[in-house]
Amino acid sequence: MTRVRATVLAFLFSMSSACAQSPAPPGALSCSGCHGAAGVEIPSLSGLSADEITEAMGAFKSGARPATLMNRLAKGFNETETRAISQWLASQRSAP
């Protein structure tokens, strides 16, 4: 009975949330902890293109762009992961 209930729910939910976003790529959900609306010290990512974010992350990682902290975080992602995160961030309507 419980299993049936779960399966029914899963079925209905999958239909009702057909519009649900595809899951965020690894790492992407953490960004909004620091990057939010404009008007504070840490820059908002809203309005940046995927290419701009990818390029910034690359420059943080190589040290070409000086940073207090983003250099330490950028090193945790390879190019494919960074690009996926950038694309996802750029695709968010109210980008974090």
Partner 1 sequence: MSRASRRGVLSGGAATLALTLAAPRAMGQARPKAVVIGGGFGGATCARYLNRLGVAVTLIEPNATYIACPFSNLVIHGSRDLAAQQFGYEALKREGIVIAPEMAAGVDADARLVRLASGATLPYDRLVLSPGIDIRFDALPGYDEAAAQIMPHAWKAGPQTLLLRSQLEAMRDGGVVVMSVPANPYRCPPGPYERASLIAHYLKTYKPKSKLIVLDAKDAFSKQKLFQTAWEELYPGILEWVALGAGGKTTEVSVKDMVVVTEFDRHKADVANIIPPQQAGRIAVAAGVADKSGWCPIDPVTFESKLRPNMHVIGDASIAGAMPKSAFAANAQAKVCASAVALLLRGEAPASPKLLNTCYSIVAPAYGISVAGVYHPAGGLLADVEGAGGVSTLGASSEVRAREAAYADSWFKTIAAEVFG
Interface contacts to partner 1, rule CB under 8 A: 2, 4, 6-17, 20-21, 23-24, 26-27, 29-37, 40-42, 68-69, 72-77, 81, 96
CB of 52 to partner 1, least distance (A): 20
Q: Which is nearer to partner 1, 33 or 47 (CB)?
A: 33
DSSP the chain: -HHHHHHHHHHHHHHHTTTPPPPPPTTGGGGGGT--SSSSSSPP-TT--HHHHHHHHHHHHHTSS--SSHHHHHTT--HHHHHHHHHHHHH-TT--
Q: Which is nearer to partner 1, 35 or 90 (CB)?
A: 35
CB of 35 to partner 1, least distance (A): 7
